[in-house]
Amino acid sequence: MPAKGLAIGPKLRYLAERARRIDIKSVAERAREVHEQHGAWTPRVFADMLWSAARHDVAFQDYVDYDFAILSKQERATYMTHPVSMQLAARYARKDKRVLFENKIEFNRVFSRFLKRDWLVVEPGNADAVREFAQRHGTIIAKVPVSHMGLGVRRYHAADVTDWVTFHRGLLERDELLLEEVIRQHPDLAAVCPGTVNTTRITAFFDGRDVHVLATAQKFGRGAVSDQMSYGGFYTMLHDDGRAFGPGYDSHGHVHEKHPDTGFRIADFRLPLVDEVRAFIDEVARVVPEVQYVGWDVVVSPDGPVLVEGNWGAGVYENKPSVTGIRTGHKPRYRRAIGF
């Protein structure tokens, strides 16, 4: 694609808002964290974080997570950052179509043929349908339709419910209006963490003709209902052939050579059915062409990939050089595909 650049107006508005809301204490805490990790002089890190944010669109947490203190200027330039991702999301997602991704019920309706699992909307008066659904599946997932970072997701067991009218009323009161069958994951994923359905985040861009995979991250849970970091989860980046870059890590300074619960060596992980996953994303990314830049969460099941959700605010998953030994990120791939 021809280079288009990112519009200066949204960037200036973002910087102005960021400057207005800047929390100096928080920046100082992050600078001290970088000092503890890499031995860099705290005042210098503090100043560099502010400069990087203003000049290079680097979020303060990006600076910490991607080890900018140990990278050269050229190496830093290869890293995708959250501010840049936010600008891309705003540019390449038509506003009237974003609700299809923000509301999980609407998303399920639009992408129903890719879900490959049973689901039900909780409504007034359908307690019997909820009971039948839960008893048929045994264990179910309940979701708040509009929620983020894995919050608003709970797991229920039909055997624990004694009063279905009360259970149904509770779902309505908690806004847990979407019920889903639990996804059965591939044995290669279950070997790492059997208690959580472990999702693969694939960030992709549809240019109107071709679908470009920009980055792939494998998330792992800790037995909770979600593999998000808010539930103790972590991730590792994947090569195009599905091989892990190296150990796992999160945004809280934790590094996992092995999964804490199963002992599986994260660097040995390889995503199964990679070709099927890429073909799946190529198809899924064309369904709503007005939303071109999306972070897709999929799960590889024994029968192939299953769609969990799509995020028009794709976020960023990136390589951590102090963990993997690889000192470059994915931004060149974004630039080639999107043309900015």
Measured distance CA(100)–CA(97) in Å, rounded: 6
The predicted pLDDT at position 23 comes to: 85
Q: Which residues of 238-267 are buried (b: 16+ CB within 10 A; e: fewer)?
A: beeebbbbbbbbbeeeeebeebbbeebebb
Q: Is there a contact between 184 and 302 (Cβ–Cβ < 8 Å)?
A: yes
Tens of pLDDT, residues 229-271: 999 999 999 999 999 999 999 999 999 999 999 999 999 999 9
Tens of pLDDT, residues 20-43: 678 889 999 999 999 999 999 999
- Which residue has 């804490």 as its token pair? 260
Stretch 51-80: mean pLDDT, rounded? 97
Report pTM: 0.93
Stretch 70-75: mean pLDDT, rounded? 98
What 3-state DSSP class applies to 215?
strand
What 3-state DSSP class applies to 17?
helix
Domain residues of the chain, as ranges? 8-71, 95-105+185-312, 118-181
Alpha-carbon distance values, 304 to 6, 36, 108 (Å) = 37, 43, 18
Percent of the chain with pLDDT over 70: 94
User: Is the pLDDT confidence value at 72 over 70?
Assistant: yes
Measured between its terminal Cα atoms, the distance across the chain in Å is 9
* Dihedral angle of Cα 316, 322, 326, 327, to the nearest 10 degrees: 80
Please list, in sequence order, all residues whose beta carbon lies within 8 angstroms of the beta carbon of residue 148, skipping any fewer than 6 positions away. Answer: none
From the options 3.30.1490, 3.40.1710, 1.20.120, 3.40.50, give the CATH code of 118-181: 3.30.1490
Strand-pair partners of 202: 216, 296
Measured distance CA(292)–CA(307) in Å, rounded: 17
Alpha-carbon distance values, 193 to 235, 263, 309 (Å) = 12, 9, 20
Tens of pLDDT, residues 94-115: 999 999 999 999 999 999 999 9
Residue type, 6: L
The predicted pLDDT at position 148 comes to: 79
User: Is the pLDDT confidence value at 1 over 50?
Assistant: no
Q: Domain 95-105+185-312 has what CATH class? A: alpha beta
